[in-house]
Structure 1
Amino acid sequence: MKLERLISMIYMLLNNEILSASALAEKYNVSQRTIYRDIDAICAAGIPVVSYQGVNGGYGIMEQYKMDKSLLGSYDVGSLITILHSMSTVFDDERALDTIHRLQTIQSGPNRQSLTMDIGNRQIFNEPLRLVRSAISERCVIRFDYVNLKNEKTSRKLEPIRLMYKNSVWYVYGFCRTRQDYREFRISRMVDLVTTAETFQPHAEKEQECKERSYEGREERQRTDVVLHCSAASLARAMDHFYDADKCFNEDGSLTLTLKVYKPVESEWLVAILLSFGEGLEIVEPLELREAFKAKLEKMLKRY
């Protein structure tokens, strides 16, 4: 839309000393004549655009008019730019890039990057994330097959409300028409994801009720202490996987880890991680988990 283009052009001019009409035309996929008209409209709105002649000529905004750089501290601006840049990589979001340009107009001093983020390094997830985010914006129902923790595959229709990034995992939260209740779904377990032509209106009251019952709002469940003994050869991997555990380094270079797990004997995710360590990790407590793990190993040995 013209208004969005004009606003974006203003921030582009604020962020650059001089921009040529041809560069602006290429940026917004319009003719140079349209750019000339847009510049006239910006000037009519009271923003002092200056025209520079010559080979390297173009348009710029008077220095005195530019935004006060004390509006945000350099630390705040740099952190916001880093976060937005990472998000724009995931979602291919032009609006996020435009916001970055705006923030750069008030960034003072040299651009010394003290923070980097990369939450879009798994490109296979980017396309479904973009599809879900678009469905959220347009309030479109999405349809997909889903594999739950019991390894059951079911077809679902969801009114998506928001995307969530928790513990390095992407989720979509919304109203599941199949279950007639609010649910969270891991993006990695969704198959054949499509956007339908159906639209929806938010269920404000029920959504609020569900938020109170959601993961963040639940009371802390009863958890059991799991004690693991890690060999010196597996320290780095153990600390990566169990970074929130209590750690006690032993004199022989090994490590004792204590972590709290809800129903550890039933936690297949824990068993899968422990198996990946081979001889590098031993379950010390609880005895029930140790016995269950031993039974799992015996069952695997029979297969081989």
Structure 2
Amino acid sequence: MRADRLVSLVLLLRQQGRLSAAALARELEVSTRTVLRDIEALSAAGVPVYAERGRNGGFALLPGFRTELTGLSHDEALALLIAGSRRGAQTFGLGSALASAMLKVVDALPESYRVTAAGAAQRLLIDPPADLLSRPSAGEEVPDAIVAAIREAVFAGRKLRIRYAPDGQAPAWRTVDPIGLVTVRDQGYLLATRSGQDRTYRLSRVLAAEALDEPADRPERVDLGRAWQDRGSRFRAGDNQITVRVRLDPARREELLRTALAVLSEQESTLEVTFQDGRHAEWALWQLSTGAEVLEPAWLRTALRDRARQVAGLYAERS
């Protein structure tokens, strides 16, 4: 771990020039004291790093210094493979590995390419943490230690023991055979089998994880795309699904489609859609406010009317 950090420190100084200890600490996700210790270690190893005092001071390398680029680690190579989505790397606990790998890739570029790439990178912002209304992205935070244990079991083909908390149920330990990992809209999922039955676990609901020594009972090769599609089909065909007929403002159509499971029919502004269950339907249609009117079933129409009355009563004028 420290060796990788020292390499990253040198590459940061090579690519960005003089940096303060605080700036290095932020980039490397360590304390300022750790950065100072690393600087001392580099100096002792013969790396020509020096300090400049003053308000705009910091640490820098002697001009022209170049060191042999170390090879990518396993996690860094893996992070690059999913670098098309930086959020995907974050979801699977590979955010820091991706940052480290990209430093090494940039350093390996020819000088002319490196300058061009650095200039182009300043013109691109991918997946900022919030939108124009300052609403944060909906990404889920999963402790790195948990994701690392899950990744280990998935890649090594070993059984996995997890403490899982299903929605509305008490957490419980279970042993599964991991198949693969999937990320959708910043949410991570573990595809696995348990006692031979397909199971899908949301990573944010895994409270603890441990890769076991016993080999997983799973096929040697897997088509994750097909497996995810099959599980989605079974999920949409669940026993608790309900069908809703709704009159919709066309401007809100895409918003409805992002929450409904499927569209069964559509005639002008009237749609027949399915939801996972009654609670899902009520929540989704409430978000559309006056942009949607439930026509059927009657009980859902009544539930939304009662909720609106409660809200209206809350904001009624007080004497």
Residue 243 (structure 2) pairs with residue 241 (structure 1) = no
Q: Structure 2: where are the runs of 5+ without partners?
A: 26-31, 70-81, 108-113, 131-135, 154-159, 311-319
CA distance in 1, matches of 2:275, 2:61: 68
Q: For residue 135 of structure 1, what is the amino acid of its counterpart?
A: A
State the partner residue of 2:74: none
Q: CA deviation at 1:133?
A: 0.9
Contact kept, 8 Å, 1:182 with 1:210, in 2: the verdict is no
State the partner residue of 2:37: 30
- Structure 2 CA distance for partners of 1:217 and 1:171, relative to 1, 3 Å: same
CA distance in 2, matches of 1:266, 1:33: 59
Q: CA deviation at 1:184?
A: 0.9
Q: CA deviation at 1:97?
A: 2.9
Matches within 5 A, 1:9-158: 9-18=9-18, 26=33, 28=35, 30=37, 32-40=39-47, 55=53, 58-60=60-62, 62=64, 83-84=85-86, 87-88=89-90, 91=93, 93-102=95-104, 105=107, 106=114, 107-109=117-119, 111-118=122-129, 121-122=137-138, 125-126=140-141, 128=142, 130-139=144-153, 141-147=161-167, 155-158=172-175
Q: For residue 15 of structure 2, what is the amino acid of its counterpart?
A: N
Matches within 5 A, 1:275-286: 275-277=286-288, 280-283=291-294
Contact kept, 8 Å, 1:142 with 1:157, in 2: the verdict is yes
Q: CA deviation at 1:204?
A: 6.8
- Structure 2 CA distance for partners of 1:8 and 1:220, relative to 1, 3 Å: same
- Structure 2 CA distance for partners of 1:118 and 1:98, relative to 1, 3 Å: same
Residue 182 (structure 2) pairs with residue 164 (structure 1) = yes
Matches within 5 A, 1:215-234: 215-217=228-230, 228-231=246-249
SS of the equivalent of 1:30 reads: helix
SS of the equivalent of 1:229 reads: strand
Of residues 146, 170, 194, the one that matches 2:208 is 194
RMSD, matched Cα: 5.2
- Structure 2 CA distance for partners of 1:152 and 1:85, relative to 1, 3 Å: closer
Q: For residue 157 of structure 1, what is the amino acid of its counterpart?
A: R
- Structure 2 CA distance for partners of 1:231 and 1:83, relative to 1, 3 Å: closer
Of residues 290, 294, 298, the one that matches 2:298 is 294
1:243-290 CA-partner distances (Å, limit 9, x unpaired): 5999xxx9xxxx72657x5xx376443454235546542356xxxxx2
- Structure 2 CA distance for partners of 1:103 and 1:89, relative to 1, 3 Å: farther
CA distance in 2, matches of 1:90, 1:219: 21
Per the normalisation by structure 2, the TM-score is 0.54
CA distance in 2, matches of 1:88, 1:219: 24
CA distance in 2, matches of 1:52, 1:32: 9
Per the normalisation by structure 1, the TM-score is 0.56
Q: Structure 1: where are the runs of 5+ without partners?
A: 41-49, 68-79, 285-289
CA distance in 2, matches of 1:16, 1:168: 30
Contact kept, 8 Å, 1:19 with 1:60, in 2: the verdict is no
SS of the equivalent of 1:142 reads: strand
State the partner residue of 2:285: 274
- Structure 2 CA distance for partners of 1:87 and 1:167, relative to 1, 3 Å: closer
CA distance in 2, matches of 1:16, 1:265: 51
CA distance in 2, matches of 1:299, 1:209: 44
Q: For residue 174 of structure 2, what is the amino acid of its counterpart?
A: K
SS of the equivalent of 1:157 reads: strand
Q: For residue 64 of structure 2, what is the amino acid of its counterpart?
A: M
1:205-225 CA-partner distances (Å, limit 9, x unpaired): 436468586223579789999
Q: CA deviation at 1:116?
A: 3.0
- Structure 2 CA distance for partners of 1:283 and 1:52, relative to 1, 3 Å: closer
- Structure 2 CA distance for partners of 1:12 and 1:26, relative to 1, 3 Å: farther
Q: CA deviation at 1:95?
A: 2.4
Identical columns (%): 15
Q: CA deviation at 1:152?
A: 6.3
SS of the equivalent of 1:214 reads: helix
Q: CA deviation at 1:129?
A: 5.0
